[in-house]
Structure 1
Amino acid sequence: MMKRWITFDLDGTLMQNPFVEWIFPEIVCTINQQLNQVIDIQELILEEHEIRMKENRIVDAYDWDDIVSKVIEKLNIPIKVDVTQLVKKHAVIPKIYLLENNILTSLNELKKTGYSLAAVTNGYSFYQVPVMKELGLDILFDKVITPDLCGYAKPDERILNQLLDDGEIFAHIGDRIDHDIILANKLGITSVLIHRNLPSNLIEIPFDKRNEDDQLLKLCEVKWRAENRSTAPFVNEGIPNYVISSIEELIIWGQVPCPKAD
């Protein structure tokens, strides 16, 4: 039987990883202890990430072990930082957490309706899986798709090839326009943007009408520009089919709706 997939982004959609608050600060402290001057190490790390993104080396842009290694090499200091081990060290509650109290319940409810769930993330497996296990997410997903395992990263449509070979993808849910919404729209999959800070007047609009509101469209454009640091025109592929303020709203629907007809 062909599977009925719903795919989810992880960071910013379901969970908070330990990178910003714990891992990057420890890396900065470790490197600065080897220097005679204080340098903005985190900025150097993010610069290397951005260089790879601009060169369209998106898979490499999320290899934090290699990125940190390159920064250390440029600084010419005799240390090694193992980011993978730092993730294991800091992947403990409350350093990491689910972004809603009822996320596990909501995902379980989706599975009960017959959907198979897949996590589709640009984070490497050895950074994501320890966090997922600690939070209880790992047992809810039938597949976890990551760049290091499949060779592609969002918004490259090929990241979803193995799921499309194994069934139909009904929806992709994520918090980024550039990675998640554009990916889904390119493939004709229902695109669902989760935005937990929607203005109250937009929350009052039915979920299937929100993307018709001019304020919501402007919000999407501003968000897309911030993600890309771009002044290029906003593209229709960046407009989500649906916008939700919580994962629980998926359960309120009763099922994930199909894309709107043109």
Structure 2
Amino acid sequence: MLILLLIIVTILNTKNFLFFIKKMAEFDYQWKYTLNKEDLENEEDKFECNEKRVKEFLNQFKNKSWLSKKPTFKEKVCLDAGCGPGRWTCALQKLGAKRVDSFDFSSEAITRCKKINPNAYVFDIMKLEENHVYDFVLSWGVIHHTNNPRKAFSKLVSQLKKGGILHIMIYDEKNDDFYEGYRGKPTKKREEWKSLTMEKKLKLSKQFAEKKGGNVHGWFDALNPEFNWSYTKEEIKEWFVEEGFSKIKEGDMKFNINMNGVFE
């Protein structure tokens, strides 16, 4: 209900609304046109809701303070901030969450997510107001696409109960060279990308996939957003410390930072 009310307030602010619509269209294109079989290649079922999502999630979630011999999120109230089609929303549901609230910038993503979760809304992470009601907040590959990732991080913290866990994935600065200037701090190549048509962007994403591995969807997701900030592990850990987290854990990822902590 709170998220729904905040959506209405956002719409009433015309300037914010126009910016919101522009960004929504960009992410809508991604979720509508890059989930074809040929774009996902060997990950055709990546966004389907099945037991694979649970295994994938637990492989990343290294903080064992909640997990007994049988992993569970039973009775936990969770927020999937930047949920996409609901990949991790599905995992949390299957792990026994009492409730999962999901939101994303993209209406196309939310249309897909609503198929598994009625509590899914189109919303902007930067519009979150202080609301310490969640036991677990997840934001996977989201805040590095905002204009102020540090502020977005604080917005996520503002949703946590004391003793709750925040889990984020964010781009790792040490791997920016792999993306040839298209990821990380603003560069000339980033400006050139903005001027390309969607067809040319998809073509370039395909070329990257053929040259470096991965698939078209993954590359388009990494290259197309207006903001693609990256950070060091030390910087992200410091954010957790500054916000009062303990038991800070790092998951295993090759190209990105995967970290969580307990909010004290």
TM-score, normalised to structure 2, is: 0.36
Comparing both chains, which one has the higher relative contact order based on Cα–Cα distances under 8 Å and sequence gaps of 6 or more? 1
Greater strand share, structure number:
2
TM-score, normalised to structure 1, is: 0.36
Q: Which has the larger radius of gyration?
A: 1
